[in-house]
Structure 1
Amino acid sequence: MFPRYLLISQLSLLWLLLSAVTQASPQLSGIATHSELGQEQFLAALYSETLSKDADLLLNTQDAKRMELKILAREGIAPRRFTRMWIEGAAINMPAGAMNSHAENMLAFDQLFRGRLEMNDHLIFDFSPQQGTVIHLNSVHLGTIENPSFFDVLLRTWIGNVPLSSGYREALLMEGNIDAALLQRFTHMEPRLSRIAVVKNWNETILAAASAASSANSSSDNRGNISDNNSKKIAAVSSVKSSARQSGIALTNQSSLPGATQVAGATASITESTNASTIAPDAPAVNNTGDNADDALSQLTAQSLVAQQYYISDAMRRIYAQLIYPRRARELQQTGSIKIRIAVDAAGNITALQPLETSEHRLLNQAVESAIKASAPFPPLPPEITAQQLEFAVPITFTLGQS
Structure 2
Amino acid sequence: MKSLKFITAVMVFAAAVSASAAPLLNGLALEQQFNKDRYIAAVYSDTLADSAGVILDENTTRRLEIRVVADSLSARRLRNQWMEAIAINNSGSSLSAQADNMVTFANLFSGRLKKGDQLRIDFDGASGASTVSLNGIQLGRIEDRKFFTTLLRSWVGPVPPSTEFREGLLAAGDVDSGLLGRYELLEPTDARVLELSEANEENSEEEEQAESGSRPETEKPKPSKPKVAANIPPPSLASVAKPKAPATQQPAPASKPEPAQPRPQPKPARKAAQEVEEEEDQPLTADVLLARQIYHSMLLRHTYDFLQYPQRALERNQEGSIRIRVTIDPAGRVRDVQTVQASRFNDLNRAAVSAIKSASPYPKVPPALAKNDYEFSVPITFRLPD
Per the alignment, residue 340 of structure 2 pairs with: 356
CA contact (8 A) 1:31 1:45 kept: yes
Over 3 Å counting, the alpha-carbon distance change for 1:370 and 1:93 in structure 2 is same
What CA deviation, in whole Å up to 9, does each residue of 1:128-147 have, x standing for no partner? Answer: 13151111111111111111
Per the alignment, residue 32 of structure 2 pairs with: 35
Give the partner amino acid of 2:78: F
Give the partner amino acid of 1:329: A
Per the alignment, residue 68 of structure 1 pairs with: 65
Secondary structure at the counterpart of residue 359 of structure 1: coil
What CA deviation, in whole Å up to 9, does each residue of 1:6-53 have, x standing for no partner? Answer: 89x949x93795276246421111111111011000011110011111
The aligned runs of 1:232-271 (5 Å cut-off) are 267-268=261-262
Per the alignment, residue 375 of structure 1 pairs with: 359
Over 3 Å counting, the alpha-carbon distance change for 1:53 and 1:339 in structure 2 is same
Q: Does 1:315 align with 2:299?
A: yes
CA contact (8 A) 1:97 1:309 kept: no
Over 3 Å counting, the alpha-carbon distance change for 1:14 and 1:106 in structure 2 is same
The aligned runs of 1:108-147 (5 Å cut-off) are 108-129=104-125, 130-147=127-144
User: Tell me, which stretches of 5 or more residues in structure 2 are unaligned?
Assistant: 225-258, 264-268
1:220: Cα distance to partner?
6.4
Give the partner amino acid of 2:80: R
Q: Does 1:101 align with 2:97?
A: yes
Secondary structure at the counterpart of residue 167 of structure 1: helix
Secondary structure at the counterpart of residue 195 of structure 1: helix
Over 3 Å counting, the alpha-carbon distance change for 1:98 and 1:268 in structure 2 is farther
The aligned runs of 1:3-402 (5 Å cut-off) are 10=8, 14=11, 18=15, 21-22=18-19, 24-74=21-71, 76-96=72-92, 98-129=94-125, 130-210=127-207, 214=211, 215=213, 221=221, 267-268=261-262, 286-290=273-277, 292=278, 294-295=279-280, 298-401=282-385
Give the partner amino acid of 2:155: W
1:223: Cα distance to partner?
7.1
CA distance in 2, matches of 1:107, 1:303: 10
Over 3 Å counting, the alpha-carbon distance change for 1:196 and 1:317 in structure 2 is same
CA distance in 2, matches of 1:306, 1:54: 29
CA distance in 2, matches of 1:70, 1:45: 8
CA contact (8 A) 1:96 1:309 kept: no
Give the partner amino acid of 2:33: E
CA distance in 2, matches of 1:372, 1:318: 9
CA distance in 2, matches of 1:335, 1:113: 35
CA distance in 1, matches of 2:291, 2:260: 23
1:107: Cα distance to partner?
1.4
Over 3 Å counting, the alpha-carbon distance change for 1:51 and 1:377 in structure 2 is same
CA contact (8 A) 1:37 1:285 kept: no
The Cα RMSD (Å) is 3.0
Q: TM-score, normalised by structure 1?
A: 0.76
What CA deviation, in whole Å up to 9, does each residue of 1:306-356 have, x standing for no partner? Answer: 011111111111111221111221112222221101122322222222110
Over 3 Å counting, the alpha-carbon distance change for 1:399 and 1:145 in structure 2 is same
CA distance in 1, matches of 2:202, 2:327: 32
CA distance in 2, matches of 1:126, 1:106: 16
Secondary structure at the counterpart of residue 73 of structure 2: coil
CA distance in 1, matches of 2:13, 2:91: 38
1:182: Cα distance to partner?
2.1
Give the partner amino acid of 1:143: G
CA contact (8 A) 2:162 2:381 kept: no
Over 3 Å counting, the alpha-carbon distance change for 1:20 and 1:172 in structure 2 is same
What CA deviation, in whole Å up to 9, does each residue of 1:171-195 have, x standing for no partner? Answer: 1111111222322221122110000
1:161: Cα distance to partner?
1.2
CA distance in 1, matches of 2:328, 2:190: 41
What CA deviation, in whole Å up to 9, does each residue of 1:117-162 have, x standing for no partner? Answer: 1111011110013151111111111111111111112111211111
Secondary structure at the counterpart of residue 18 of structure 1: helix
User: Tell me, which stretches of 5 or more residues in structure 1 are unaligned?
Assistant: 225-264, 270-281
Q: How many residue pairs get matched? A: 343
1:222: Cα distance to partner?
8.0
What CA deviation, in whole Å up to 9, does each residue of 1:251-279 have, x standing for no partner? Answer: xxxxxxxxxxxxxx86437xxxxxxxxxx
CA distance in 2, matches of 1:379, 1:203: 41
What CA deviation, in whole Å up to 9, does each residue of 1:31-90 have, x standing for no partner? Answer: 11111011000011110011111112211342100111110111x111210210210110
Over 3 Å counting, the alpha-carbon distance change for 1:348 and 1:210 in structure 2 is farther
1:210: Cα distance to partner?
3.2
1:304: Cα distance to partner?
0.8
Over 3 Å counting, the alpha-carbon distance change for 1:267 and 1:140 in structure 2 is same
Secondary structure at the counterpart of residue 106 of structure 1: helix
Over 3 Å counting, the alpha-carbon distance change for 1:202 and 1:268 in structure 2 is farther
Q: TM-score, normalised by structure 2?
A: 0.79
Secondary structure at the counterpart of residue 183 of structure 1: helix
Identity in percent: 34
CA contact (8 A) 2:58 2:146 kept: no
